[in-house]
Structure 1
Amino acid sequence: MSRVTAKICGLSNPETLDAAIAGGASHVGLVFFPPSPRAVSFEAAAGLAARVPSHVAKVGIFVDPCNALIDEAIEAGALDVIQLHSVTPGRAAALKQHTGLEIWVAVPIKTRSDLDSATKYEGAADKIVYDAKTPGGAALPGGMGLRFDWSVLDGFHHPLPWALSGGLTPDNVAEAARRTGATLVDVSSGVETAPGSKDVDKIAAFLQAVAQL
């Protein structure tokens, strides 16, 4: 059995969700951020969540959300994990207390110094998702197919369990996991044919590469 597990993020239709589950994904991600091409409505989230077996965790992705949005998404999607972008450690801690769910926080990385911010979430979150930092003024905080220099993680004392994201594809995920020691890899645009359009064959190829690690 692979020591590495995978989250397929930004799923928005039954066909691709089913492909992620069939391929062995440990986590499936539903985006609750309207500007994203991968965003799902509460109604769609409910339909997708109903297809997810209990051994696969449902992750809701949010960007600096209000409590009302979080509450409605949890109710609709029966979420197991909340993944937060663009939140302070204090806000992450407050949402952990408010929801009682596992909290992941995305930390955007470009240089080694960017890792320092990860340490601030100790005690406030359960997992860090290292993602590639997007350019200034970008409309989205992630899901843009960018990757960072994995070597910046060399020798870093991780303050929390962590996942690797940012520019992963079926072709590079094996190298990425071996290079960084990641035990959870997270992909979105790397298994798409266009922004928001997941491809069942790419999902299968990505998960097959992970299963061989």
Structure 2
Amino acid sequence: MSSLSFSPTVKICGLTRAEDVQDAISAGAGFLGFIVEANSPRRVSVSEAKPLFSPTKGLAKRVAVTVNADDHLLDRIARDLAPDFVQFHGDETVDRLAQISKRYDFGLIKAIPIVTDEDMKTAGEYAGIVDFVLFDAKPPKGSQVRGGHGVAIDWDIIARAPTPKTFALAGGLNPDTVREAISRTKAPILDVSSGVESAPGVKDVFKIQAFMKAVNSHG
């Protein structure tokens, strides 16, 4: 395998505990993801998220992950958490995100489930509005939870499509799969949640360290 000319950044998502946040920072994660008031076993309220956000300012990019958040929730997130980014993991339209980008100072990430080549075209429609797109797996049939299922995307769909300079890859990433994911997709940002957990919302420091080691030795 030839050496790649970039060093991917890692986003550890679904954080719920202060000790896991510290472990993520210590391991070198560039982004910290918190699922704020959305349907998920990793859900935290705005008030629960605040003590996790505040001490980490400047140490990593802090991301509030939302699903179809209304303006009231976004106002609370902006005021109480002051995130670097808000991730939109629901059915938000291009027009909706364009309005949000004008109203708030935080960066925008849009998650797009990728199942077919056509989905990559849909993702492209958001590229000019948001700071970057997150390619994720489609939730299992019947699930009301949008992410964190440990299901992988068909990486060949991403490999054969034009991709923006900055994008994130999620879905089925863990210490055993991430090197191949990097090799096949050239993803500059890797988003992991269940792949570094011992239980939903409970991160495993050894899995975090193994994941970061795999990323840093991908060449």
TM bucket, shorter chain: over 0.9
Residues 1:3 and 2:7 are matched in the alignment: yes
Structure 1 counterpart of 2:183? 178
Q: Which runs of 5+ in 2 are unaligned?
A: none
- 137, 149, 168: which one aligns with 1:163: 168
Which is worse superposed, 175-184 or 156-165?
156-165
Inter-partner Cα distance in structure 2 for 1:210 and 1:103:
25
Structure 2 matches for 1:58-73, cutoff 5 A?
Answer: 58-73=62-77
Shift of 1:2: 6.4
Using the alignment, how far apart are the partners of 1:160 and 1:126 within structure 2?
A: 11
How far off its partner does 1:53 sit?
4.4
Offset of residue 22 of structure 1: 0.1
Residue 125 of structure 1: which of 116, 119, 130 is its match?
Answer: 130
Distance 1:122 1:13 in 2: 32
Aligned residues: 213
2:60 match: 56
Deviates more, 1:196-205 or 1:78-87: 196-205
1:60–1:123 CA distance, 2 compared to 1 (3 A): same
Q: Any conservation in 2 of the 1:32–1:41 contact (CA below 8 Å)? A: yes
1:201 paired residue number: 206
Matched residues in 2 for 1:160 and 1:37: separation?
A: 32
The 8 Å contact of residues 82 and 104 in structure 1, kept in 2 or not, is answered as yes
**Are residues 1:28 and 2:24 paired?**
no
> In 2, Cα distance between the equivalents of 1:96 and 1:200?
35
Of the three residues 72, 82, 85, the one matched with 1:81 is 85
TM-score by length of 2: 0.91
**Who is 2:159 aligned against?**
154
Q: Secondary structure at the match of 1:123?
A: coil
Q: Residues 78-110 of structure 1, C-alpha deviation per residue, up to 9 Å, x if partnerless? A: 200011012111111111111122111001011
8 A Cα contact 2:37 2:46, kept in partner? no
Work out whether 1:137 is the aligned partner of 2:142: yes
Q: Which moved more, 1:29-38 or 1:172-181?
A: 29-38
Shift in Å, 1:55: 3.8
TM-score (norm 1): 0.94
Q: Which runs of 4+ in 1 moved over 3 A?
A: none
Measured after TM superposition, the shift of residue 155 of structure 1 is: 2.9
Kept after mapping to 2: 8 A contact 1:46/1:78: no
2:35–2:65 CA contact under 8 A, matched in 1: yes
Letter in 2 for 1:207: M
Task: Deviation per CA, 1:99-150: give whole Å up to 9, x if none.
Answer: 1221110010112222121121132211010000113321111111111110
Q: CA RMSD in A?
A: 1.6
Identical columns (%): 38
CA-CA distance at 1:159 after TM superposition: 4.5
CA distance in 2, matches of 1:204, 1:71: 35
Where does structure 1 lack aligned partners over 5 or more consecutive residues? Answer: none
**What is the match of residue 16 of structure 2?**
12
State the match for 2:113 in structure 1. Answer: 108
CA distance in 2 between counterparts of 1:168 and 1:11 reads 16
